[in-house]
Structure 1
Amino acid sequence: MSAIAWIAVGSLAAWGWLLLGQGFFWRTDQRLPRRAGPPHWPRVAVVVPARDEAHVLPVSLPSLLAQDYPGDAEVVLVDDGSTDGTAEVARKLAADCRGLPLTVTRPGEPEPGWTGKLWALRHGIGLARAREPEFLLLTDADIAHEPDSLRELVAAAVTNRLDLVSQMARLRVASGWERLVVPAFVYFFAQLYPFRRINREGARTTAAAGGCVLLRADAAERAGVPEVIRHAVIDDVSLAKAVRRSGGRIWLGLAERVDSVRPYPRLADLWRMVSRSAYAQLRHNPLVLAGTVAGLALVYLAPPVALVAGVLGGDAAAAWAGGLAWAVMAGTYLPMLRYYRQPLVLAPTLPFTALLYLLMTVDSAVQHYRGRGAAWKGRTYARPQPAPER
């Protein structure tokens, strides 16, 4: 066989393993586990870090204030050095909504060694602990919740004796670029952190989705959160690892009633979202970067290239292997497209989207070596750290 045919066969073998051996990552059936209302609804503090979020708060914050929760609950919004009137907008919304009580606080600039979001969470969690909540809901300022979201999260945690329950919010898919890139973002995340594996007792694979994390207060204290992960830019994965390391039980799945309202209308907006932390995910290791680029090329780019080259060059083996690998790839993408209610004809475009992610990852490394590190909302973190061992 030709070299391109062998590459195509290698890609097909990789897809055979991904289809069956990577925790069935492509399935979208990991939703909130069985749950029943507890006899006593625990006290909950909702902590929302916010930096320059005045434009999204009118959509997201009222959904938190209007939670239909049978127990005691409050919302603490931590204004992390905003310059757009975030705190004022939050107070006005609370006055208009007349729902759960809202506290707005400002922690000041982060101390050395802290990322901005975790500094805000530290301040918000510390303030909330004075009320002795049993649970903390850590949710981003761009996340909108259906009225029963908090009730369902708490019921799932109590029923299944979970210390951390996290839902990956359904991201916005309105623009053409969002339709092309966003479902693939969640698909790639699930491939890296298969939800089924995470949800198994004693699993080594661990992650959370930072937009919506319900955490037992005593589990957070036992894990040393957030102090133990104060350096982390990929804070959701670091948080989950810290909780699991301390003996906590974790669950992660896709959301049905929790949505991100943040728009990413242009490719540049999506590019920044991915590239700001992609190289940190690879532990700033150039060898891991090289392996990742090679792996993405073999798994996602080789099949269409082999198919086209095989057809044009009369290489039947390359064409068949490449075409079959591409078909398996597209088939595994269909459930995610259905979850996002997108046209299934987008499935064959996954190689092009993977090429974009490959370029975003390389760009993340380039920015790191230029000293720009992970930049977000005016702050730059040169070398984010994972959660240290305790």
Structure 2
Amino acid sequence: MSAVAWICVASLAAWLWLLAGQGFFWRTDLRLPPRREPARWPAVAVVVPARDEAEVLPASLPSLLAQDYPGRAEVFLVDDGSSDGTGALARKLSERHGGLALTVGSPGEPPAGWTGKLWAVRHGIGLARAREPEYLLLTDADIAHEPDSLRELVAAAESGGFDLVSQMARLRVASVWERLVVPAFVYFFAQLYPFRWIARKDGGTAAAAGGCVLLRADAAARAGVPDAIRHAVIDDVALARAVKRSGGHIWLGLADRVDSVRPYPALADLWRMVARSAYAQLRHNPAVLLGTVVGLAVIYLVPPVGLVVGLARGDTTAAAVGGTAWLVMTATYLPMLRYYRQPLWLALTLPGTAFLYLLMTVDSAVRHYRGRGAAWKGRTYGAAPEAAPDSRA
């Protein structure tokens, strides 16, 4: 066989392993686990860190205030140094819509060693502590919840004995670039952190989706969060790792009724979202970066290239094996496109989207070495070795 054919064989072997041996990551049927209403509804504090979120807050905060929860629940929004009137707008929305009680706090600038979001979360938990909540719902300011969201999350945690229940909010998919990039973003995340492995008590895989995390207050104290992860750029995965390491039982799945309202209309918006943390995910390690680039190329780029080159050269083996690998790749992407209600033909674009992610990852490393690191809303964070937890922890 030709060298191209052998490379295609390696790619096909990788895809067959991913298909069956990576926790069935490509399936999208993992929703909230079976649940029943508890005899007593525990008290919940909803903590919302917010920095310059006036644009999205009218679409998200009223959904939290309107939660139909049988127990005691309060919302604590932490204005993290906003310059657009986020805190004042939150108070106005509370006055207009009513519902759950709202407290707005501001912690000031984070001290050295803290990311702004986690400093805000710490302040919010501190505000809530006087109410002695049994659960904390950590949710981002761009996340909208259906009225029964909190009830369903608590019922799932109580029924399953989970210390952490997280749902990956359905991200907005409206623009052309959102259609191309967003479903793949969730697909790649699930491939790296298979949801079925996360729920295993004896497993090492840990992850959460920061937009929607229900956490037992005693589990948070036992894990020492957020202080223990204060420098984490990828804070949701770091949070899940800390809880699981301390003996907590965690769960992560896809959401049906929790949605992100933040728009990413242009490629530049999505590029910044990925590039700001991609190299942190690789622990700022050049060798891991190189391995990731090679891996993405072999797994996602070789199949279509092998098919085209094989057909052009009359190399039937390369064409057949490359085409088969591309077919398997395409089949694994279809469930995610269905979940996002997108045309199934977009599955054929996955190699191109993977190439974009490869470039975003390289750009993330370039930004890091140029001193721009993980930049977000006017803040830039340096490299903390613990900031990028891996899937084994």
Decide: shared fold, TM above 0.5: yes
In the alignment, structure 1 residue 205 sits paired with structure 2 residue 205: yes
In the alignment, structure 1 residue 170 sits paired with structure 2 residue 204: no
Secondary structure, aligned partner of 2:251: strand
Per-residue deviation, 1:384: 3.5
Cα separation, 2, equivalents of 1:205 and 1:212: 19
After TM superposition, the structure 1 = structure 2 runs for residues 298-313 of structure 1, keeping only pairs within 5 Å, are: 298-313=298-313
Give the conservation status (yes or no) of the 8 Å contact 2:280–2:387.
no
Give the conservation status (yes or no) of the 8 Å contact 1:228–1:387.
no
Secondary structure, aligned partner of 1:205: coil
Give the aligned partner of residue 146 of structure 2: 146
Give the conservation status (yes or no) of the 8 Å contact 1:51–1:80.
yes
Give the aligned partner of residue 42 of structure 1: 42
Q: Label 1:388 to 1:256 Cα distance change in 2 as closer, same or farther (>3 A).
A: closer
Per-residue deviation, 1:388: 10
After TM superposition, the structure 1 = structure 2 runs for residues 27-38 of structure 1, keeping only pairs within 5 Å, are: 27-38=27-38
Give the aligned partner of residue 374 of structure 1: 374
Cα separation, 2, equivalents of 1:251 and 1:387: 21
Give the aligned partner of residue 386 of structure 1: 386
Give the aligned partner of residue 126 of structure 1: 126
Cα separation, 2, equivalents of 1:207 and 1:22: 15
Q: Which amino acid aligns with 1:47?
A: V
Instruction: Please give the per-residue CA displacement for 1:15-37, whole angstroms capped at 9, x wherever unaligned.
Output: 00000000000001111001011
Give the conservation status (yes or no) of the 8 Å contact 1:229–1:388.
no
Give the aligned partner of residue 64 of structure 1: 64
Cα separation, 1, equivalents of 2:35 and 2:335: 25
In the alignment, structure 1 residue 243 sits paired with structure 2 residue 236: no
Give the aligned partner of residue 340 of structure 1: 340
Per-residue deviation, 1:302: 0.3
Q: Label 1:388 to 1:351 Cα distance change in 2 as closer, same or farther (>3 A).
A: closer
Q: Label 1:81 to 1:385 Cα distance change in 2 as closer, same or farther (>3 A).
A: farther
Cα separation, 2, equivalents of 1:385 and 1:89: 37
Instruction: Please give the per-residue CA displacement for 1:208-259, whole angstroms capped at 9, x wherever unaligned.
Output: 0000000000000000000000010100000000000110000000001100
Cα separation, 1, equivalents of 2:76 and 2:384: 26
Instruction: Please give the per-residue CA displacement for 1:334-362, whole angstroms capped at 9, x wherever unaligned.
Output: 00000000000100100000000000000
Q: Which amino acid aligns with 1:110?
A: P
Q: Which amino acid aligns with 1:125?
A: I
Q: Which amino acid aligns with 1:287?
A: A
After TM superposition, the structure 1 = structure 2 runs for residues 292-303 of structure 1, keeping only pairs within 5 Å, are: 292-303=292-303
After TM superposition, what 4+ stretches of structure 1 lie above 2 angstroms from structure 2? 384-389
Cα separation, 2, equivalents of 1:339 and 1:69: 27
Instruction: Please give the per-residue CA displacement for 1:113-148, whole angstroms capped at 9, x wherever unaligned.
Output: 100000000000111111100000000000000000
Cα separation, 2, equivalents of 1:103 and 1:387: 30
Secondary structure, aligned partner of 1:253: strand
Cα separation, 1, equivalents of 2:23 and 2:284: 26
Residue segments in structure 1 that go unaligned for 5+ positions in a row: none
Cα separation, 2, equivalents of 1:313 and 1:352: 23
After TM superposition, the structure 1 = structure 2 runs for residues 325-364 of structure 1, keeping only pairs within 5 Å, are: 325-364=325-364
After TM superposition, the structure 1 = structure 2 runs for residues 149-160 of structure 1, keeping only pairs within 5 Å, are: 149-160=149-160
Secondary structure, aligned partner of 1:386: helix
Instruction: Please give the per-residue CA displacement for 1:181-203, whole angstroms capped at 9, x wherever unaligned.
Output: 00000000000000001111221
Secondary structure, aligned partner of 2:47: strand
Give the aligned partner of residue 225 of structure 1: 225
Cα separation, 2, equivalents of 1:283 and 1:180: 27
Per-residue deviation, 1:387: 6.3
Give the aligned partner of residue 82 of structure 1: 82
In the alignment, structure 1 residue 253 sits paired with structure 2 residue 219: no
Give the conservation status (yes or no) of the 8 Å contact 2:8–2:321.
yes
Give % identity.
78
Q: Label 1:388 to 1:350 Cα distance change in 2 as closer, same or farther (>3 A).
A: closer
Residue segments in structure 2 that go unaligned for 5+ positions in a row: none
Secondary structure, aligned partner of 1:251: strand
Cα separation, 2, equivalents of 1:82 and 1:245: 34
Cα separation, 1, equivalents of 2:29 and 2:384: 33
Cα separation, 2, equivalents of 1:79 and 1:310: 57
Cα separation, 2, equivalents of 1:169 and 1:187: 13
Give the conservation status (yes or no) of the 8 Å contact 1:49–1:79.
yes
Residues paired across the two proteins, number: 389
Give the conservation status (yes or no) of the 8 Å contact 1:228–1:388.
no
Cα separation, 2, equivalents of 1:349 and 1:13: 21
Q: Which amino acid aligns with 1:196?
A: R
Cα separation, 2, equivalents of 1:230 and 1:197: 26
Give the aligned partner of residue 73 of structure 1: 73
Give the aligned partner of residue 25 of structure 1: 25
Cα separation, 2, equivalents of 1:386 and 1:34: 34
Per-residue deviation, 1:386: 2.3
Give the conservation status (yes or no) of the 8 Å contact 2:144–2:260.
yes
Q: Which amino acid aligns with 1:180?
A: L
Give the conservation status (yes or no) of the 8 Å contact 2:280–2:388.
no
* TM-score of the pair, normalised by structure 1: 0.99
Instruction: Please give the per-residue CA displacement for 1:307-331, whole angstroms capped at 9, x wherever unaligned.
Output: 0000111000110000000000000
Cα separation, 1, equivalents of 2:10 and 2:30: 30
Give the aligned partner of residue 114 of structure 2: 114
Instruction: Please give the per-residue CA displacement for 1:91-117, whole angstroms capped at 9, x wherever unaligned.
Output: 000000110000001000001110000
Give the conservation status (yes or no) of the 8 Å contact 1:135–1:216.
yes
Give the aligned partner of residue 99 of structure 1: 99
In the alignment, structure 1 residue 282 sits paired with structure 2 residue 311: no
Cα separation, 2, equivalents of 1:384 and 1:102: 34
